[in-house]
Structure formats: structure tokens, C-alpha cells
Amino acid sequence: MHEYSIVQALLTQCEDIAAKNDANAVNSIEIKIGVMSGVESHLLKTAFDTFKEGTVCGRSQLIIHEQPLKILCNECGFESEVPVYKCSKCESLNVKVVDGEDMYLMRLEME
Amino acid sequence: MCTDCGCSIRGKEDKHHHDHEHHHDHHHNSHEHQKAHSHIHNNPHLNDPKTITVIQKILDKNDHEAMHNRSHLDNHGVLGINLMSSPGSGKTTLLEHLKDVCEFNYGVIEGDLETNRDAERLKAKNIPAMQIQTGSACHLDAFMVHKGLHDLPLDDIDVCFVENVGNLVCPASYDVGTHLNVVLVSIPEGEDKIAKYPVMFRKADLIIFTKVDLLPYFDYDIEKEKAVARSLKPNVDILELSIQDKDSLRQFAQWIEFKRKMRG
Ligand SMILES: Nc1nc2c(ncn2[C@@H]2O[C@H](COP(=O)(O)OP(=O)(O)OP(=O)(O)O)[C@@H](O)[C@H]2O)c(=O)[nH]1
Ligand SMILES: [Mg+2]
Ligand SMILES: [Zn+2]
Ligand SMILES: [Zn+2]
Ligand SMILES: [Zn+2]
């Protein structure tokens, strides 16, 4: 359950940004979770609701955008959104990952 | 001394602080890189709700610390290798036996849930080992490994292994600051491990099939598993290993030697 550690990192990040902006509260947090990041969105959500208490994010809503795996084919140039590392047009395995393997904080609404 | 982490590990040349500030996002495309660096401006009177866009990796603090760890290793000319697998795939056993066939010196940072058994096993073989007690953690992160690095005699070793917590999920999300990832998968675990844990096996620079002496007793199509691995990651290196087969251990030692030479 490394989702708990990831939420701790996210909360620290939000607290830093809120402090830099002299905000009293964070209303909503938008994150992007790649399907190949190794993190389960529903576990992340549960962990967030457990740990947000008593932080500047205590009343925040967590909005999770699940990012499918996006690959660019080095052979034919086609961009596919498929759950495998294989071009869906020419079936080449020579592909570059464009998105879907990382976790990003995207947007914060504060007041 | 690094002014950020306050640590005083020193190598021949302490260029680490100048390096890391600008390196973190260079693996990603420049579009994202630019966005990650866009600054958030101060707003001293924030009365109304305000939305800001901050594209930042959630684990950026960990990634930064991982970069520190790599500088520490680089400054001491040490190659760092992160060993990952399910519990019991043979990580500690491999580290115990590698010593008999290799010419380089190595130390080990051990991640273990509760005990220091694995570290004791290695120390019994005169391998410097430092146990990080992760408590209930299911993975090691760069901060834990950083502490371990301070307790290892980096000047006396050529290779530093990190034996991660036995788990094919959580450790895959954390860069611990090594140079290479080696993922073990043992024959008795059965087929499909690679297909079921693609995130982990995508991270591998080398996949080692361990306990291959047991192949006659299991219904395990190793060639099929290799094909699965290469469909996930076409350029991954693959080794078959058994503790009873000294040649296979030597092959692993040679792979490491090669990587060491390539880092000068
Ligand atoms: N037959 C056979 N058994 C092996 C081999 N390598 C390891 N084992 C056995 O597998 C068991 C587990 O090995 P460990 O080295 O403790 O596994 P580990 O990956 O360090 O386990 P954790 O640290 O708990 O995750 C031990 O009983 C070893 O003797 C091998 O090549 N062949
Ligand atoms: Mg072990
Ligand atoms: Zn293609
Ligand atoms: Zn620093
Ligand atoms: Zn340090």
C-alpha cells in the first residue's frame, strides 16, 4: 500500500504551494495518474481522505484524471492509446512512451 | 556538504549541489519540462478562490533525493544496483553467493520489514551490509537509501546493492537513486508474473530468472516468459541463474563488470 506514502508526498506538496500563495485552504486538487504508474486510483482516494484531516487540504476534493498509456510508434509515427507497449497500427514494439507512466499534480484551487 | 540535504558525504569532487538543480526533468519531453519549471508567483492577499496550474511530479522530492544518492555514488565511483522481486525469489541468496565469483567489492543496503536477518546473513560472509528497518513500509524510498549510504564504507566498495522489500508492486514507483534496476523472478512463483506486474518489469535493466535448477519440477515455459518480458521491454537483458551453477553467477558478475566499465 504505497498509496499512503504517495498521498503524504502529495499533501506536503499542496501545503508548500498553499503557504507560498498565502492561502488558508485548498478547495480542490487535480492530479493525473498514469495507468502504468503502479498506483491504484481508488486506493489513492481512500488514503487521501484518511490523511487530509488536519491539513490545509482538510476540506479538499481530490479529482483524479486517469491517464491511459499513450505511445508513439518509432516505425510508422502512429500514436496509440492502448494498454500495451505495441503500436496498434503496425504492431511494432519500437515505441516511445508519451504519457501514462507517471503521477502529476496538475491544478490547485485555493482560498 | 550539500546545502539541501545537509549531509557531508564527500567524494573526490563534490559537484553534486550544482548538478542536481537542473537535472530533474531532463528525461521527459521539453514541453512538460518547461511547465514543471514555470514559477508560481506570490500573491500576498489571497481572498478569493484562485486556481493555479502546477505541473509537478507527485514524487518530485523523492526524485530529487534519488539524484543526490546517485551523485554520492558517482563521487565515490560506485555503481548502484536496485534488486527487486517478490518475497523469497532469492535476492539475499544471490548476494551471499556472488562474492565467491566476483572480483569487485560490494556492499548492501537491506530493506527488510521487521528483522535484520538478511543483513546478518551477508555480514557473516564479510559483505558490508546496512539494514534499513522499514517497519510496515512496503518499499524503500530515496530518503531511506540515503541514510543507508552514509553507513556504508563507500570508499571501499565498487558496487552498492539495494535489496528492496520483497514486493512486485510498490518498489516500482520509487527511484531510490541507483543506476540500474535488476528484477528477479523465480521458477516456483509460476508463469504470468511478468504479465501481471508490467510496471515492475518495465523498470528492469536486467531480468534474472532464478532457481532454474527447479525447472524440471515445474510446468514453466521459460522461453514464453522471456517473450512476454521482451514484448514489454524489447531491449531488456535476461539471465537464467541457479545458485548451484557457478557459471550463471559468473555471468551476472560479468554483466555488472561491463556496466561498471561503461560508467568509467
Ligand atoms: N533451488 C534453489 N533455491 C534457491 C535458489 N536461490 C535461492 N533459493 C532459496 O530460496 C529461498 C529464499 O531465498 P532468499 O534469498 O532469502 O530470498 P529473498 O528474495 O532475499 O527473500 P526476501 O528478502 O524475504 O524478499 C531460500 O530458501 C533459498 O535457499 C536457487 O538458485 N535454487
Ligand atoms: Mg532477502
Ligand atoms: Zn506503428
Ligand atoms: Zn539538493
Ligand atoms: Zn547524503
Give the mean model confidence (pLDDT) for residues B237-260: 98
Quick check: is A7 in a domain? Answer: yes
- Tens-place pLDDT, residues A17-63: 999 999 999 999 999 999 999 999 999 999 999 999 999 999 999 99
CB B243 within 8 A of CB B93: yes
Quick check: is A16 in a domain? Answer: yes
Quick check: is A46 in a domain? Answer: yes
**ipTM surpasses cut 0.90:** yes
pLDDT at B33 over 90: no
Quick check: is A44 in a domain? Answer: yes
Give the mean model confidence (pLDDT) for residues A8-19: 96
Q: How many CB atoms lie within 10 A of CB B53?
A: 12
Domain assignment of residue A42, given as a range: 3-68+101-110
Which chain B positions have a beta carbon within 8 Å of A43's beta carbon?
none
Q: How many domains are there within chain A?
A: 1
Whether B97 is in the pocket of ligand 1, judged by its Cβ within 6 Å, is no
Those residues whose C-beta lies under 8 Å from the C-beta of residue B202, and which sit 6 or more positions away, are A36, A85, A101, B232, B233
Quick check: is A32 in a domain? Answer: yes
Q: Which residues pair with A109 in a beta bridge?
A: A28, B51
CB B85 within 8 A of CB B34: no
Task: Output the residue whose Cα is nearest ligand 1's atom 12.
Answer: B88
Distance (Å) from the C-alpha of residue B102 to the closest C-alpha of chain A? 34
Integer CA distances (angstroms), B93 to B148, B242, B264, in order: 20, 10, 29
Whether B88 is in the pocket of ligand 1, judged by its Cβ within 6 Å, is yes
Q: Which residues pair with B181 in a beta bridge?
A: B82
Least confident of A22-31, B48-57, B95-104, B213-222: B48-57
What pLDDT is recorded for position A79? 97
Q: Which residues pair with A80 in a beta bridge?
A: A71
Whether B240 is in the pocket of ligand 1, judged by its Cβ within 6 Å, is no
CB B47 within 8 A of CB A108: no
Sheet order of strands, B237-240 included: B129-133, B106-112, B159-163, B79-84, B180-186, B206-210, B237-240
Give the mean model confidence (pLDDT) for residues B51-66: 94
C-alpha cell read off for B111: 530493506
pLDDT at B16 over 50: no
pLDDT at A4 over 60: yes
Residue of A22, A85, A103 lying closest to B57 (CB–CB): A103
Quick check: is A96 in a domain? Answer: no
What pLDDT is recorded for position B29? 44
Quick check: is A41 in a domain? Answer: yes
Q: Tell me, what CATH number does A52's domain have?
A: 3.30.2320.50
The residue among B96, B107, B110, B242 whose CA lies nearest residue B176 is: B110
pLDDT at A96 over 60: yes
Quick check: is A90 in a domain? Answer: no
Q: Which residues pair with B124 in a beta bridge?
A: none
Residue B101, exposed/middle/buried by CB under 10 A (0-12, 13-18, 19+)?
middle
Share of chain B above pLDDT 90, in %: 75
A2 and B232 within 8 Å at the Cβ level: the answer is no
Least confident of A66-75, B15-24, B186-195: B15-24
Share of chain B above pLDDT 70, in %: 81
- Tens-place pLDDT, residues B162-191: 999 999 999 999 999 999 999 999 999 999
CB B14 within 8 A of CB B62: no
- Tens-place pLDDT, residues B140-166: 999 999 999 999 999 999 999 999 999
pLDDT at B206 over 80: yes
On average, the pLDDT of chain A sits at: 95
